[in-house]
Amino acid sequence: MRRRGSGSRRTSKKPPSPSPSEGEMTSQHNAEGGNKIQSPSDNGSLTEISQDAVGKLLRRANKVGTSKKKTTVGLCNFPFLFNILFSSARTVEFVPEQNGTQVLEPIGPLNTSEVEHCSRSSIGKDPAEEKCGHVSLDEGYMDKKDELDDSDWEDGTVAMDDHSVTIELNVTPDSSELAELVHKAHLLCLLARGRLIDSACDDPLIQASLLSLLPAHLLQLSNVTKLTSKALRPLMSWFHDNFHVKNYTNGEKEPHFALASALELRVGGPEEIAALSVALFRALNLTARFVSILDVSPLKPDQSFRPIASGSSKGIFNTSTPMVSKKKLDFMSLKKPLSCEKEKLCETSLAHSLKSKKRIAPSNMDQSKDPSVAEDLNHSVTNFPISEAQHINPESHITDKSHKPKRKGDLEFEMQLEMALSVTAIGSSKIKEESGENADSSSFACPSKRIKRVVGEGSSTSPQLISTAVGSRRVGSPLYWAEVYCSEESLTGKWVHIDAVNLIIDGEDKVEAMVAACKASLRYVVAFAGQGAKDVTRRYCMKWYKIASQRVNSTWWDSVLAPLRNLESGATGGVVHSRTNQIISTEANMNDSFVPTRSSLEDIELETRALTEPLPTNQQAYKNHPLYALEKWLTRYQILHPKGPILGFCSGHPVYPRTCVQTVMTKQRWLREGLQVKPNEHPAKELKRPNKPQKVQDIEADDYDCTTDSKEHINLYGKWQVEPLNLPHAVNGIVPKNDRGQVDVWSEKCLPPGTVHLRFPRAYEVAKRLEIDSAPAMVGFEFKNGRAYPVHEGIVVCAQFKDVLLEAFAEEAERLKEEEKKRDEAQALRRWYQLLSSIVTRQRLNNRYNNNWTSEVPNDVHCINDNVSRATVCDSNDKNQTPRQHQTDKRDTDLDTSLSIPVKDHEHVFLKEYESFDMETSLLTKRCQCGFSVQVEEL
DNA sequence: CTGGACAACAGACCTTTGTGAAGA
DNA sequence: ATCTTCACTTTGGTCTGTTGTCCA
């Protein structure tokens, strides 16, 4: 089945729960299912921001849609945006039992996995790569779409291939705006997604299940008061032995349920495994965060968006393409001896709580045994058995420094093989698509692909190999990990990076290299805890200048994160968990004096990182670098002052701190800032004046050579060369004016002391009438026809006249209003007179030249007030002002005469009973007892 | 293959204070 | 003679960011 356009989409049935419209989104959602938002400040603002962004997006897309341009990129995502945001709020008070039922619904409300998938995989990709594969995805889309303007969706091309959606992306001329909106909305989605996972990590059931699996000696970690990263290694070894990353999806399951499934099967996607590690830490009363790279669609258009996420990371997210084939799983399982003990344990612990009927073959289960765990207690990560590690997790060998390759070819082949197995479903499907052959065979058949090794220089561990097939799609990129707060890790404690997927502990400085090796960038790294979030990109990104331009406007991002940061710091800052015995009370309730909190210490740490970024190696990076500058890349109006210190060199050019870069301006520009150049200051910089055709000025310049120099150069001055503007004071009510008899009011700062700027209209006339000295205020220039025209607005007067003038203006305004009213009334009278005169004239002419005038009288007689039951037709002054009248039943042959006879001493009375109304002509005929009648057109 | 340097290009920015003829 | 209105003509050079190409 292949559906295209909205026509066919309309036929799809709606999901059970109606989707709220844009405007009602928040309220409806909150009402639905009784789910409340925990923190109004949090979700309120977040939702508002989300709504705003999504609303803009919709409007923008609708606009583009109506202009017959394909902008499917935004359209596809809108419905998901709604849903993801709902999901975000929905999870705050999450009850596992309820969700179990939700998840089991065959087609429920669009869940976030679809959103995630689509947003990760759909945006900005080539049509051929666009596979968003979920039926409910399309249905959710349909549902929302129906509530929106149908017509605006016609241009989006969504073709369905069985269970997949093809999205075509065409770049529109104003796509930058759209790209930014999509970027923002996508960010919000991923934020919400992170909160979902974080919420799942707090699930007591999952935590309890994890604890039940944990060997007794590892349980002691919960009593450790002085935690170091080293102490976590046995735990991570055990975890890594027992939980495996697979190209496996938990389908459409809601995160809590997906986590539970992964826990039960001990196999899951990277996100699930990382989340389980977080849950485990939290179960052990450790302060832990779930950290995720928000792999968001590009901020700028025309940048292809290839999600970092490999298919393996989409465990929770459903994907369009089938996940790793059964064959692959079997292949993996064949390598791994099984241990069913854990599985049984797992089953018993979860069987009652989880209704999952899915069970992966036991072959996917654990292959490690308890004894090995015991042995590994004091084992470092790098001593992990090579073969086992490789088999357990293809990526785990990355961290293995002691691994000795047999032969280069063999190693490459093995790596390729394992990568192929661990690669995402999308990856495998892409291989199929691109090579047109079996994914397995394609990956196996290319052992000659070069292996790139990225050596990460770790602080705690030895250099690690990060491997990826060069030229192939990105695989193994870390997307999710945990951060555990280790109080003994440094003087003040430290958040320690723990990547359970790749078995890396305290490898924060390796993340960037690993991500870079996968041809990705970490633009946003966000840590989630306590339903909140905090941007910790600085911790992992050493080359901030590379990502700064790819990040959204920091003001917006900070405002989005502000409420989430509070939640996050509330959860991790001081008292960690209410159920914990390990109270780390570094927070406010210590005493009144300032106590540095974890959050504030981390802020300082991140800020320090921002200020100690290493010098870039390429010159262009200095162009807009926030910390460093090369003189070469300064702009026309920039200068180094002071010129030093030199922080280093780049390609022979000295590197200066950015703080030395000062902006220089002309005297005129400083004037606008309310500043003037100090006397006897030499220009800090001279610019060559552009060679404009000077016309007459050239001739003058020839005559006065002494002025040529200043004409040819623009003198620029720095901030240190200026002082506050010293304008002449207003004296004796006289406004100091310039040589043009006006005051240049670039800003309020430019007003001479003792004067005010009055902007009301006709101010000049009012001041003139009161004989108050004033000067026109020139507020700027308008450029028309290649010339500058001064723009005047209001006047400048001495401050003491302000009130007088304002009063006068008020009186003037009142007077003008009165005059205008009188003028209007006079004009109305004139027009009435004109109208009635013309009517009478017309009647007279008709009477004189056309005896059958009555039949031809147009029905254009308008009675202004048709509710009036009386009409006075006598007018002693002007008989011609009688309303147009005609007698139908008693016609005088000489109407002119009849009209000329004043109807004195009689006032026509039109009684209701004598009225008649002609429906056809809408004419109401009123009759007086005297026989006089008036026709009135009903308005 | 990658990154740096450079050129080309497009868009943004800055510019910065009437006059003469015709008609009322 | 004086005042008011209207047409005139639609810059253009430089900076800056982006993109493509070449080369080490």
- Alpha-carbon span A915 to A737, nearest angstrom: 74
Q: What per-residue confidence (pLDDT) applies to A825?
A: 92
* Alpha helix stretches (DSSP H) within A591-630: 598-611
Positive or negative, the CA dihedral A874, A876, A881, A886 is positive
Q: What is the mean pLDDT of chain A?
A: 62
Q: What per-residue confidence (pLDDT) applies to A803?
A: 93
The CATH number assigned to the domain holding A791 equals: 3.30.70.2460
C1' of C1 to CA of A740 (Å): 27
- φ, ψ for residue A736, nearest 5 deg: -70, 125
Q: Nearest-CA neighbor of A520 among A248, A310, A289, A317?
A: A310
Confidence of residue A832 (pLDDT cuts 50, 70, 90): very high
pLDDT tens track for A294-317: 888 777 665 556 555 443 333 323
Cis peptide, bond prior to residue A642, ω within 30 of zero: yes
- Alpha-carbon span A99 to A110, nearest angstrom: 14
CA distances from A549 to A106, A178, A544, A546, A626 (A): 43, 17, 9, 7, 11
Q: Is the CB of A781 under 7 A from strand B?
A: yes
At residue A504, what is the residue type?
I
- Alpha-carbon span A500 to A396, nearest angstrom: 10
Alpha carbon A279 to its chain's center = 30
Confidence of residue A797 (pLDDT cuts 50, 70, 90): very high
- Which residue did the predictor score with more confidence, A705 or A503? A503
Give the closest nucleotide to A690 (alpha carbon vs C1'): C13
Q: Length of chain A, please?
A: 939
CB A175 within 8 A of CB A116: no
Q: Are residues A154 and A286 in the same domain?
A: no
Say how many domains are in chain A: 6
- Both tokens of A429, joined, read 């499907």
**Which residue range forms the structural domain that includes residue A749?**
727-849
Q: Are residues A273 and A355 in the same domain?
A: yes
Give the closest nucleotide to A785 (alpha carbon vs C1'): C10
- Which residue did the predictor score with more confidence, A649 or A136? A649
Average pLDDT over residues A697-708: 40
- Which residue did the predictor score with more confidence, A681 or A108? A681
Q: Give the bases of strand B that a protein CB approaches within 7 Å.
A: 1-6, 14-18
Q: Are residues A255 and A401 in the same domain?
A: yes
Determine, yes or no, domain membership for A557.
no
- The footprint of strand C (CB < 7 Å) covers A 300, 302, 549, 623-624, 635-637, 687, 690-693, 783-786
Q: CB < 7 Å to strand B — which of 488-527 in chain A?
A: 519
Q: What per-residue confidence (pLDDT) applies to A931?
A: 78
At residue A39, what is the residue type?
S
- Alpha-carbon span A319 to A315, nearest angstrom: 9
pLDDT tens track for A166-221: 555 444 445 667 777 788 888 899 999 999 999 999 999 999 999 999 888 888 88
Q: Are residues A704 and A800 in the same domain?
A: no
- Both tokens of A912, joined, read 């209701």
Q: Exposed/middle/buried for A447, CB within 10 Å: 0-12, 13-18, 19+?
A: middle
- Alpha-carbon span A640 to A107, nearest angstrom: 64
CB A129 within 8 A of CB A430: yes
Residue A424 has pLDDT above 80, yes or no: no
Determine, yes or no, domain membership for A588.
no
C1' of C4 to CA of A48 (Å): 55
C1' of B20 to CA of A757 (Å): 34
Residue with tokens 């996995």: A113
- Alpha-carbon span A416 to A468, nearest angstrom: 8
- Alpha-carbon span A513 to A502, nearest angstrom: 14
Q: Are residues A922 and A841 in the same domain?
A: no
Q: Are residues A206 and A342 in the same domain?
A: yes
Q: Are residues A719 and A645 in the same domain?
A: no
Q: Cβ–Cβ contacts within 10 Å for residue A82, how many?
A: 28
Residue A318 has pLDDT above 80, yes or no: no
Q: What per-residue confidence (pLDDT) applies to A174?
A: 58
- Poorest-confidence range of A320-324, A442-446, A458-462? A320-324
Q: Which of A819, A849, A879 is the last residue of a domain?
A: A849
CB A374 within 8 A of CB A216: no
Q: Are residues A238 and A351 in the same domain?
A: yes
Q: What per-residue confidence (pLDDT) applies to A290?
A: 95
Q: Which of A849, A878, A894 is the last residue of a domain?
A: A849
- Protein residue closest via CA to C1' of C11: A786
- Alpha-carbon span A188 to A196, nearest angstrom: 12
Determine, yes or no, domain membership for A604.
no
Give the closest nucleotide to A470 (alpha carbon vs C1'): B1
Determine, yes or no, domain membership for A585.
no
Q: Exposed/middle/buried for A867, CB within 10 Å: 0-12, 13-18, 19+?
A: exposed
CB A169 within 8 A of CB A72: yes
Strand blocks (E) in A799-932: 916-918, 923-927
Q: What per-residue confidence (pLDDT) applies to A523?
A: 83
Give the closest nucleotide to A638 (alpha carbon vs C1'): C15
Determine, yes or no, domain membership for A571.
no
Q: Cβ–Cβ contacts within 10 Å for residue A842, how many?
A: 14
In the 3-class helix/strand/coil scheme, how is A700-738 assigned residue by residue?
Answer: HHHHCHHHHHHHHEEEEECHHHEEECCCCCCECCECCCC
Determine, yes or no, domain membership for A770.
yes
**In this structure, what DSSP letter does residue A132 have?**
B
CB A619 within 8 A of CB A652: no
Give the closest nucleotide to A636 (alpha carbon vs C1'): C15
Confidence of residue A766 (pLDDT cuts 50, 70, 90): confident
| Percent of chain A as helix, strand, coil, to the nearest 5 | 45, 15, 40
Q: Exposed/middle/buried for A555, CB within 10 Å: 0-12, 13-18, 19+?
A: exposed
CA atoms within 13 A on the CB side of A739: 0
C1' of C22 to CA of A455 (Å): 30
Q: Is the CB of A470 under 7 A from strand B?
A: yes
Determine, yes or no, domain membership for A566.
no
Q: For a pLDDT cut of 70, what percent of chain A falls above it?
A: 50
Query: Under DSSP, is residue A327 helix (H, G, I), strand (E, B) or coil?
Result: helix
**In this structure, what DSSP letter does residue A15 have?**
P
- Which residue did the predictor score with more confidence, A923 or A324? A923
pLDDT tens track for A26-51: 333 333 333 333 333 333 444 454 44
Confidence of residue A866 (pLDDT cuts 50, 70, 90): very low
Q: Which of A151, A168, A193 is the last residue of a domain?
A: A193
Bridge partners of A455, per DSSP, are: A465
Q: What per-residue confidence (pLDDT) applies to A724?
A: 87
* Alpha helix stretches (DSSP H) within A91-173: 96-104, 112-122, 135-147
- φ, ψ for residue A924, nearest 5 deg: -100, 125
- Alpha-carbon span A133 to A129, nearest angstrom: 12
Q: For a pLDDT cut of 90, what percent of chain A falls above it?
A: 12
Q: CB < 7 Å to strand B — which of 844-903 in chain A?
A: none
Q: What per-residue confidence (pLDDT) applies to A403?
A: 37
Average pLDDT over residues A381-399: 36
C1' of C23 to CA of A913 (Å): 104
Q: Are residues A325 and A187 in the same domain?
A: no
Q: What per-residue confidence (pLDDT) applies to A428?
A: 36
- Poorest-confidence range of A54-68, A458-472, A858-872, A874-888? A458-472
Determine, yes or no, domain membership for A531.
no
Q: What per-residue confidence (pLDDT) applies to A895?
A: 37
Q: Give the bases of strand C that a protein CB approaches within 7 Å.
A: 8-19
C1' of C9 to CA of A301 (Å): 38
CB A156 within 8 A of CB A6: yes
Q: Are residues A222 and A371 in the same domain?
A: yes
C1' of C23 to CA of A655 (Å): 25
Q: Are residues A743 and A802 in the same domain?
A: yes
The CATH number assigned to the domain holding A630 equals: 2.20.20.110
Helix orientation angle between A96-104 and A255-265, rounded to the nearest 10 degrees: 90
Strand blocks (E) in A516-637: 525-529, 532-535, 628-630
Q: Are residues A303 and A332 in the same domain?
A: yes
